[in-house]
């Protein structure tokens, strides 16, 4: 038996390891098992090269838990270690200025482990004593037992051992008893070791006999040594890919849309399979993440630093031996290979989408609803992706037809170019609520896109910046003639005076006066008498701010226009009725107004070139007195019109019909409308 000191400059690294690495302590099992797997694979290589002549036999790595003795043992039939190798690989850990370093990186366990190759020493996070019993494959090697109890002091002795290979025995400390539970070990194996390339056995397979659980003599193998991504694409069928998908995500029942098999040799090694899941219209919660492996050992499922944000919507695995097991955030953010991986994957994803689009457009269109959000997200977040995706990104219209950007432009360019040469893309966000507007646009021969996706508000803004001389306008943002302003202008059948009289009449019947402006448009006589529109600009501001939660515009009330069609027969009739019923009263006020207005204008005229301080106080007082009179009289006029309006059932009926077209008439008001309608029919 020999004693020695582990080669560290700091007196005692183990308390440090325990203290700072405790939070992620479950990686110890991954570290032990991946060492065992490495050793096994090395022996296999030696055997096939003829450097190891004995029979290889069973190479299964075995994990066992002895609850009574509080140990976990990991046994392998790998190449083993000689006494000298233990000294070299285990005892001499280069650990200069450890405390300083650990202090600096204490929040980043992986940096610490990765930096010092502390894989093996992670065992001390859960053990108060660790033993290595190992026999090297070399011919005359003596088996040795190494033991260390958490001090830099270790013991090493020669022992008898038949088989080549290594047993690592962890004596679990009292704080880590949870790891002596079978369930806990199963959980860790399932997390980290599911796809290791060498068979890992944990206990024996269980069977049911006479209603009782019994152990069989078959090993309980916990891993799939040849996961799909390690195979060649030619060996795999669609079903195989789907089967693997469900193996990865047992809780998802739907098959993925399609997959991308990654296989890169240069400038870095990378394999993997990415899947397009059914995203639908929701990017909020992403529970099933892409998993990152290093030589089939699970590293992490936080891949945010490896793939661009939008690709985290995908599922699947990425395996790169160039990414160290103990990968740290800072490593990922700074490593140039990782950056290349990121842009490579982006390119592959775009290529694959393009390939499917070209090969089977019908299929692509069928899957568009699921792809749309993903592609839009990619375009919005990644300039390069826009360049790659712009030829297969689709716009879907209200009739479910799909077009590429170029195709769509060609379709609308003749009929939807306005008088200034801008291309106007019309869109709807809710086909039922905006139905009458959509129909109106269609009668004009316009095409209407359906932009009802979660990101469409942003996407529309983005496309407007990308497309030249183009803008997007929602169908209900204006009367149809004004959606795409053309040269010809309709005449109005109402005079300006009639319009001014009609405004208070309509206002008097609005329930929500603050929200509406009454405006007049010279529409076609066959269009609706009254419609409700919402300004594109204001609505978009509100939409955007609601999404950004910056609540500035979000707090603004909605803003609608009640648009009166000056050419509709009913409106003309109402105007005539207003004149007939009110003119005699109004005229009286108008006559009163004439001299007041005259005087007012005269005074204003006299003073118009003077500065404020040069105007005489008397003049000023007079002007405001006259103005007050004018306001007063106008108010009286308005009241007359208002009172008239309150009795006019047709006006109310027309407003309600417009509200109904926009799906805005609800509850009691709807009920009143129905009653009024019956009255009007009687």
Q: Which two tokens stand for residue 513?
A: 């006066």
Q: How far apart are CA 292 and CA 286, in angstroms?
A: 16
Q: Of the listed pieces 34-42, 191-199, 310-318, 480-488, which binds ligand ADP according to CB under 6 A? A: 34-42
User: Do 522 and 511 contact (CB within 8 A), yes or no?
Assistant: no
Backbone φ and ψ of 504, nearest 5°:
-65, -30
Measured from each CB, the residue nearest to ligand ADP is: 119
326 binds Mg ion (CB under 5 A): no
DSSP for 548-576 reads HT--TGGGSPP-EEEEEETT-HHHHHHHH
39 binds ligand ADP (CB under 6 A): yes
Q: Of the listed pieces 28-36, 142-150, 266-274, 554-562, which binds ligand ADP according to CB under 6 A? A: 28-36
69-108 residues near ligand ADP, rule: CB under 6 A: 76, 78-81, 89-90
Q: Closer CB to Mg ion, residue 198 or residue 379?
A: 198
CB of 38 to ligand ADP, least distance (A): 6
537 binds ligand ADP (CB under 6 A): no
Q: Which residues contact 221 (CB under 8 A, 6 or more apart)?
A: 60, 199, 200, 201
User: Which residue's entry shows tokens 């993440």?
Assistant: 289
Q: Which of 363, 272, 286 is nearest to 321 (CA)?
A: 272
CB of 95 to ligand ADP, least distance (A): 12
CB of 132 to ligand ADP, least distance (A): 8
119 binds Mg ion (CB under 5 A): yes
CB of 34 to Mg ion, least distance (A): 6
Query: Of 59, 82, 166, 565, which lies in the binding site for ligand ADP, with binding defined by CB under 6 A?
Result: 166
Q: Closer CB to Mg ion, residue 35 or residue 291?
A: 35
Q: Closer CB to ligand ADP, residue 35 or residue 440?
A: 35
Q: What angle do CA 131, 134, 138 make, to 5 degrees?
A: 160
CB of 458 to ligand ADP, least distance (A): 45
Query: Of 110, 119, 373, 665, which lies in the binding site for ligand ADP, with binding defined by CB under 6 A?
Result: 119
CB of 339 to ligand ADP, least distance (A): 24
The 8-class DSSP code of residue 645 comes to H
Q: How far apart are CA 48 and CA 511, in angstroms?
A: 88
CB of 321 to ligand ADP, least distance (A): 12
Q: Which residues contact 551 (CB under 8 A, 6 or more apart)?
A: 545
78 binds Mg ion (CB under 5 A): no
Q: Closer CB to ligand ADP, residue 164 or residue 373?
A: 164
3-class secondary structure for 106-148? CCCHHHHHHHHCCCHHHHHHCEEEEEEEEECCCCCCCEEEEEE
User: Do 425 and 402 contact (CB within 8 A), yes or no?
Assistant: no
Q: Of the listed pieces 119-127, 153-161, 369-377, 583-591, which binds Mg ion according to CB under 5 A? A: 119-127
34-73 residues near Mg ion, rule: CB under 5 A: 35
Q: Of the listed pieces 33-41, 106-114, 144-152, 171-179, which binds Mg ion according to CB under 5 A? A: 33-41
CB of 174 to ligand ADP, least distance (A): 25
Q: Is 553 left (phi over 0), alpha (psi -120 to 50) or beta?
A: alpha
Q: How far apart are CA 614 and CA 63, in angstroms?
A: 100
Q: Closer CB to Mg ion, residue 39 or residue 455?
A: 39
31 binds ligand ADP (CB under 6 A): yes
Q: Which of 410, 408, 402, 397 is nearest to 441 (CA)?
A: 397
Q: How far apart are CA 437 and CA 420, in angstroms?
A: 23
Q: Closer CB to Mg ion, residue 198 or residue 654?
A: 198
CB of 41 to ligand ADP, least distance (A): 11
| Interacting residue ranges for ligand ADP, rule: CB under 6 A | 31, 35-36, 39, 76, 78-81, 89-90, 117-120, 166
| Interacting residue ranges for Mg ion, rule: CB under 5 A | 35, 119
């Amino acid at each position: 038996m020999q004693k020695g000191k582990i080669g560290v400059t700091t007196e005692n690294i183990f308390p440090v390891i325990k203290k700072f690495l405790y939070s992620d302590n479950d990686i110890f099992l991954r570290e032990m098992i991946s060492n065992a797997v490495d050793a096994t694979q090395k022996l296999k290589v030696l055997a096939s090269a003829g450097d190891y002549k004995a029979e290889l036999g069973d190479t299964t790595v075995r994990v066992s838990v002895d609850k009574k003795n509080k140990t976990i043992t990991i046994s392998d039939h790998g190449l083993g270690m000689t006494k000298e190798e233990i000294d070299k690989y285990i005892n001499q850990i280069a650990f200069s200025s450890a405390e300083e370093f650990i202090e600096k990186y204490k929040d980043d366990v992986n940096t610490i482990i990765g930096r010092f190759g502390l894989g093996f020493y992670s065992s001390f996070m859960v053990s108060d004593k660790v033993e290595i019993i190992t026999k090297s494959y070399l011919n005359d090697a003596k088996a040795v037992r190494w033991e260390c109890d958490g001090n830099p002091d270790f013991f090493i002795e020669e022992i008898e051992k038949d088989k080549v290979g290594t047993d690592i025995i962890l004596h679990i400390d009292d704080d880590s008893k949870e790891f002596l539970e079978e369930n806990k070990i199963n959980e860790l194996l399932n997390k980290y070791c599911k796809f290791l390339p060498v068979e890992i056995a944990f206990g024996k397979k269980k069977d049911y006999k006479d209603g009782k659980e019994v152990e069989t003599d078959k090993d309980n193998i916990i891993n799939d040594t040849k996961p799909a991504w390690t195979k060649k694409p030619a060996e795999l069928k669609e079903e195989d890919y789907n089967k693997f998908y469900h193996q990865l995500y047992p809780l998802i029942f739907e098959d993925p849309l399609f997959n991308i098999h990654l296989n890169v040799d240069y400038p870095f090694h990378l394999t993997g399979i990415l899947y397009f899941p059914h995203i639908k219209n929701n990017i909020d919660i992403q529970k099933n993440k892409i998993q990152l492996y290093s030589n089939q050992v699970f590293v992490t499922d936080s891949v945010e630093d490896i793939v661009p944000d939008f690709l985290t919507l995908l599922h699947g695995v990425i395996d790169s031996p160039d990414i160290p097991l103990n990968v740290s955030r800072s490593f990922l953010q700074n490593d140039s290979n990782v950056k290349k991986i990121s842009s490579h994957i982006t390119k592959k994803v775009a290529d694959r989408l393009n390939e499917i689009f070209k090969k089977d457009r019908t299929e692509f269109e069928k899957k568009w609803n699921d792809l749309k959000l993903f592609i839009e997200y990619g375009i919005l977040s990644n300039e390069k992706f826009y360049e790659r995706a712009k030829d297969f990104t689709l716009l879907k219209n209200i009739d479910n037809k799909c077009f590429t950007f170029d195709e769509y432009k060609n379709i609308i360019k003749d009929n939807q170019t306005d008088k200034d040469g801008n291309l106007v893309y019309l869109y709807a966000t809710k086909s039922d609520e905006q139905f009458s507007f959509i129909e109106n646009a269609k009668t004009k021969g316009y095409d209407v896109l359906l932009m009802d996706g979660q990101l469409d508000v942003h996407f529309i803004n983005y496309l407007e910046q990308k497309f030249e001389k183009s803008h997007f306008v929602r169908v209900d943002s204006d009367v149809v003639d004004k959606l795409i302003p053309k040269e010809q202008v309709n005449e109005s059948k109402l005079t300006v005076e009639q319009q001014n009289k009609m405004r208070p009449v309509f206002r008097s019947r609005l329930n929500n006066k603050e929200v509406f402006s009454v405006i007049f448009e010279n529409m076609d006589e066959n269009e609706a008498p009254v419609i409700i529109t919402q300004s594109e600009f204001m609505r978009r501001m509100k939409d955007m701010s609601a999404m950004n939660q910056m609540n500035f515009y979000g707090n603004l009330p909605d803003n609608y226009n009640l648009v009166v069609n000056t050419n509709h027969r009913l409106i003309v009739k109402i105007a005539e009725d207003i004149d007939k019923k009110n003119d005699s009263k109004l005229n009286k006020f108008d006559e009163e107004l004439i001299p007041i207005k005259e005087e007012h204008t005269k005074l204003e005229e006299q003073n118009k070139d003077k500065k404020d301080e040069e105007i005489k106080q008397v003049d000023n007082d007079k002007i405001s007195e006259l103005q007050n009179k004018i306001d007063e009289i106008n108010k009286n006029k308005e009241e007359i019109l208002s009172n008239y309006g309150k009795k006019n059932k047709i006006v109310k009926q027309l407003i309600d019909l417009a509200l109904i077209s926009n799906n805005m008439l609800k509850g009691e008001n709807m009920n009143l409308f129905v009653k009024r309608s019956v009255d009007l029919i009687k």
